A and B are shown apart, each in its own frame.
Chain A
């Protein structure tokens, strides 16, 4: 969806062409010469403690928990920010979705990085380090990835249900249910906006994960309260036709 158009890639190809001979000749290591970027010539600005993002370990914050109060505050601000420039509920949900999307792409990489690094450290000596978790090729592994590891990374628990649409007309629809989404815990929606579900942000994250894995999908969040779970939310995943076609081909070829 938010993929950069083709002409962008053409543009950068021509850029790298003009820069190619120069950069190829200057590729001797340890010449941190800033490539033709509009930066001041002093080059890189390093933080005062000399630690760039590349020097920090990605697992450092792995077990660190975020204060719920500050998250609620930030999220409330995000909703307010999105609401300031919209015309309707759908528009607002779309904006929340767009805020979540890039997060999904990032979480995907982080999730795989963390699971590979733990598996290799746990089995460091054995040769099984060559079997990090596989990229999901079929829809079901992808859904399990979202339902389990992704949810645990975000909320420290799995999602509550994972269902396939029972209607034969919509085989491309899947549902992930969360009985009490964290993002909605401190949000009470006014009566005149009762269709709004701010978990559209989470839907955006899911959409980013699906798209990143190569499964084009539209994801939306819907209120489905029950007596026990008043803020129960269903995330509806609608996969595109291309995905369903590929799914059939892969099934025929016996790819798991």
Chain B
């Protein structure tokens, strides 16, 4: 599973983005999208094209986490959204690995060494990776979003941060990376 996460200000300015891969089930945390490395902008296109749907869902659902809002079938990309009350949008694009069968066998091989204790965690984590719309995935993404939200609020509370400014802090970036490792 590969992820592309972006934060948009209320006026649609991208203020933070990061690409990472899953760390569950033997993942190494490196994003492998189906686009070639030269076409990384495709992720941005797909994410931004979901904004219309987010803005529609925004006024029918009062929750902050809007769950999975959009799908882009040609790339098998799924987009989950989280809205902060002050109007910033957190968007997460996730793309399951291309060959789920070979992916799961390799996980199996890796964790069979760990024995029975490892097998339960593998079951839950591989379902997160393989099935982007399952309740477990939604829950994992929700936890991830909540953790990002905490860091975002801390950023926003800084007197030197104005709404809509790009978030450059390497500490913020490492916090997001850690949250991604923990939940996704």
A residues sitting closer than 8 Å to B (CB atoms) are 3-4, 6, 8-9, 12-13, 15-17, 20-21, 23-25, 27-30, 32-35, 37, 43-44, 52-54, 56, 58, 102, 105-106, 108-113, 116-117, 130-132, 134-137, 212-214, 246, 250, 253, 255-256
Instruction: Identify which of A15, A23, A117, A135 contacts B85 (C-beta below 8 A).
Output: A135
Are B142 and A130 in contact (CB-based, < 8 A)? yes
From B72-80, B93-101, B110-118, B156-164, the one touching the partner chain is B156-164
Most buried by B among A20, A44, A113: A113
Are B87 and A102 in contact (CB-based, < 8 A)? no
Q: Shortest CB–CB separation between residue A104 and chain B, in angstroms?
A: 9
| 13 A-B pairs in the complex with CB atoms less than 8 angstroms apart | A9-B12, A12-B15, A24-B37, A24-B40, A29-B174, A34-B170, A53-B154, A56-B154, A105-B163, A112-B64, A131-B63, A255-B60, A256-B62
Q: Which chain A residues border B10 with CB–CB below 8 Å?
A: 3, 212
Are B40 and A21 in contact (CB-based, < 8 A)? yes
Q: Does B25 contact A (CB under 8 A)?
A: no
Q: Which chain A residues border B151 with CB–CB below 8 Å?
A: 54
Q: Does B53 contact A (CB under 8 A)?
A: no
Q: Shortest CB–CB separation between residue B184 and chain A, in angstroms?
A: 13
Are A58 and B153 in contact (CB-based, < 8 A)? yes
How distant is the Cα of A52 from the Cα of B170 in the complex, in angstroms? 11
How distant is the Cα of A256 from the Cα of B163 in the complex, in angstroms? 28
Most buried by A among B20, B162, B163, B166: B163
The DSSP consensus for interface residues of chain B is mixed
Are A109 and B12 in contact (CB-based, < 8 A)? no
Q: Does B132 contact A (CB under 8 A)?
A: no
A212-B86 contact in complex given A29-B29, A112-B64, C-beta closer than 8 Å? yes
A9-B162 contact in complex given A108-B86, A135-B62, C-beta closer than 8 Å? no
How distant is the Cα of A102 from the Cα of B162 in the complex, in angstroms? 8
How distant is the Cα of A30 from the Cα of B173 in the complex, in angstroms? 9
Q: Does B146 contact A (CB under 8 A)?
A: yes
Q: Which chain A residues border B14 with CB–CB below 8 Å?
A: 12-13, 16
Are B11 and A4 in contact (CB-based, < 8 A)? yes
List residues of B (109-149) whose CB comes within 8 Å of A's CBs.
142, 146, 149
Q: Which chain A residues border B59 with CB–CB below 8 Å?
A: 137, 246, 250, 255
Q: Which chain B residues border A105 with CB–CB below 8 Å?
A: 86, 156, 163
Interface residues on B, range: 35 or more
Q: Which chain A residues border B81 with CB–CB below 8 Å?
A: none
List residues of B (41-95) whose CB comes within 8 Å of A's CBs.
41, 44, 58-60, 62-65, 83-87
How distant is the Cα of A30 from the Cα of B178 in the complex, in angstroms? 9
Are B40 and A20 in contact (CB-based, < 8 A)? yes
Q: Does B181 contact A (CB under 8 A)?
A: yes
Q: Which chain B residues border A17 with CB–CB below 8 Å?
A: 41
Q: Which chain B residues border A13 with CB–CB below 8 Å?
A: 13-14
Are A54 and B171 in contact (CB-based, < 8 A)? yes
Q: Shortest CB–CB separation between residue B85 and chain A, in angstroms?
A: 5
Q: Which chain B residues border A130 with CB–CB below 8 Å?
A: 63, 65, 142
How distant is the Cα of A17 from the Cα of B64 in the complex, in angstroms? 29
Q: Which chain B residues border A30 with CB–CB below 8 Å?
A: 174, 177
Are B11 and A109 in contact (CB-based, < 8 A)? no
How distant is the Cα of A157 from the Cα of B44 in the complex, in angstroms? 45
A132-B64 contact in complex given A33-B170, A116-B146, C-beta closer than 8 Å? yes
Are B171 and A52 in contact (CB-based, < 8 A)? yes
Q: Shortest CB–CB separation between residue B139 and chain A, in angstroms?
A: 8
Instruction: Identify which of A52, A56, A134 contacts B62 (C-beta below 8 A).
Output: A134
The chain A residue with its CB closest to the CB of B88 is A109
How distant is the Cα of A200 from the Cα of B111 in the complex, in angstroms? 63
Most buried by A among B60, B84, B173: B173
Q: Which chain A residues border B65 with CB–CB below 8 Å?
A: 130
Q: Shortest CB–CB separation between residue A8 and chain B, in angstroms?
A: 7
Q: Which chain A residues border B174 with CB–CB below 8 Å?
A: 29-30, 32
